[in-house]
């Protein structure tokens, strides 16, 4: 028995006849396990990021030779492209308004955090828009908004309001699409908060209650601090969701009316694979700009996770 209690490294030293692999097993195994994953991830994710930078410095139709143009694509983007400006500001709108999903999700989670009969059914039904594909959600909302057949206008007219053609009006269309996007995103935030609320320490709540805290004060000073991990994740997924918004726009308006609902991700797609010929270089340049916007957030997320890792090690 004494022999088996030796640490693995000791055992390896005592048995010099074992093969090279056996002697270095602990050092080698992780790399053998990592190779397939790292290979796939590098080929399809890491390397393409750098390739996109390279392509963005060229003019390229995707088939023929690439022509070096230096920073010309970027100069055109930043100083001479109204479509880019519109897309950029729409992205900002998406970012800001999409964050409403977090308080809305919290509100619904608080509403549903009870133990009445059938509450589990209600929780699943409230969550269920998140499971449906964004394409279908987009279609559902575009029919909901239809000027003649849509339910929204049927309700508006019933209450004596003027019908509105949300997706046909350049000043409203983006907001209509964001509202559609908020629907599943709110459901996601809700489920995060429901899980978080489940883990809130009941003793702290009771203690605070004895001290006379209730309502908003209780929420703000006692409950929300305990929901911090849920809020962090809700923040991460909402920001990423906002910057990735593509499906809704492609399905609901295809960028229109008059290009008023384009965002960078959609504009990039349009330029690269448009019917007027492929402008891959220009598209890649738009993607690089989007990447840098995202990088600000990615850096922040990674930094927070890194900090947690360091704490976990101690």
- Residues in 49-88 at the binding interface with another protein, rule: CB under 8 A: 49, 51-52, 55, 62
Q: Among 139, 156, 235, 257, indicate the residue that binds another protein (CB under 8 A).
A: 139
Residue 168: CB minimum distance to another protein, A: 15
Establish if 200 lies at the interface with another protein (CB under 8 A).
Answer: yes
Establish if 207 lies at the interface with another protein (CB under 8 A).
Answer: no
Q: Among 78, 95, 100, 219, indicate the residue that binds another protein (CB under 8 A).
A: 219
* Nearby residues of 281 by Cβ (< 8 Å), 6 or more positions away: 55, 56, 57, 58, 59, 60, 66, 69, 73
Establish if 195 lies at the interface with another protein (CB under 8 A).
Answer: yes
DSSP letter, residue 168: G
Judged by CB under 8 A, which stretch of 73-81, 94-102, 165-173, 268-276 contacts another protein?
A: 268-276
Compute the distance between CA of residue 89 and CA of residue 285 in angstroms, rounded to an integer.
17
* Nearby residues of 230 by Cβ (< 8 Å), 6 or more positions away: 192, 193, 195, 196
Residues 94-123 within binding reach of another protein (CB under 8 A): 110-111, 113-116, 122
Judged by CB under 8 A, which stretch of 67-75, 77-85, 92-100, 281-289 contacts another protein?
A: 281-289
Residue 164: CB minimum distance to another protein, A: 16
Establish if 223 lies at the interface with another protein (CB under 8 A).
Answer: yes
Q: How far apart are the first and last CA of the chain?
A: 33
Establish if 302 lies at the interface with another protein (CB under 8 A).
Answer: yes
Establish if 242 lies at the interface with another protein (CB under 8 A).
Answer: no
Q: What is the CA radius of gyration of the chain?
A: 26
Say if residue 96 is exposed, middle or buried (CB neighbours under 10 Å; 0-12, 13-18, 19+).
Answer: exposed
Establish if 273 lies at the interface with another protein (CB under 8 A).
Answer: yes
Residue with structure tokens 């693995």? 8
Compute the distance between CA of residue 37 and CA of residue 43 in angstroms, rounded to an integer.
10
Q: Among 84, 94, 98, 141, indicate the residue that binds another protein (CB under 8 A).
A: 141
């Amino acid at each position: 028995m004494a022999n088996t209690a030796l640490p693995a490294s000791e055992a390896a030293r005592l048995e010099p006849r074992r093969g090279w692999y056996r002697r270095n097993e602990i050092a080698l195994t992780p790399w053998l396990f990592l190779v397939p994953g790292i290979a796939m991830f590098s080929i399809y994710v890491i390397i393409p990021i750098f390739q996109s930078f390279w392509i963005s410095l060229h003019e390229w139709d995707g088939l023929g030779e690439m022509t070096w143009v230096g920073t010309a694509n970027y100069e055109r983007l930043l100083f001479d492209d109204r479509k880019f400006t519109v897309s950029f500001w729409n992205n900002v709108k998406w970012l800001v308004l999409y964050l409403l999903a977090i308080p809305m999700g919290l509100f619904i989670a608080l509403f549903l955090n009870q133990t009445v009969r059938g509450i589990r059914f209600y929780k699943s039904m409230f969550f269920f828009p998140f499971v449906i594909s964004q394409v279908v959600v987009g279609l559902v909302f575009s029919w909901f908004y239809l000027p003649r057949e849509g339910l929204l206008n049927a309700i508006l007219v019933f209450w004596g309001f003027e019908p509105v053609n949300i997706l046909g009006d350049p000043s409203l269309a983006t907001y209509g699409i964001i509202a559609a996007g908020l629907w599943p995103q709110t459901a996601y935030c809700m489920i995060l908060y429901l899980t978080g609320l489940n883990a809130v320490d009941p003793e702290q709540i009771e203690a605070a209650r004895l001290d006379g805290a209730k309502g908003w004060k209780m929420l703000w000073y006692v409950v929300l601090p305990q929901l911090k991990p849920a809020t962090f994740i809700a923040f991460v997924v909402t920001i990423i969701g906002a910057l990735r918004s593509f499906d809704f726009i492609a399905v609901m308006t295809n960028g229109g009316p008059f290009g008023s609902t384009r965002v960078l991700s959609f504009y990039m797609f349009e330029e690269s694979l448009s019917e007027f010929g492929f402008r891959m270089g220009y598209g890649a340049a738009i993607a690089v700009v989007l990447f840098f916007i995202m990088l600000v957030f990615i850096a922040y997320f990674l930094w927070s996770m890194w900090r947690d890792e360091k704490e976990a090690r101690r």
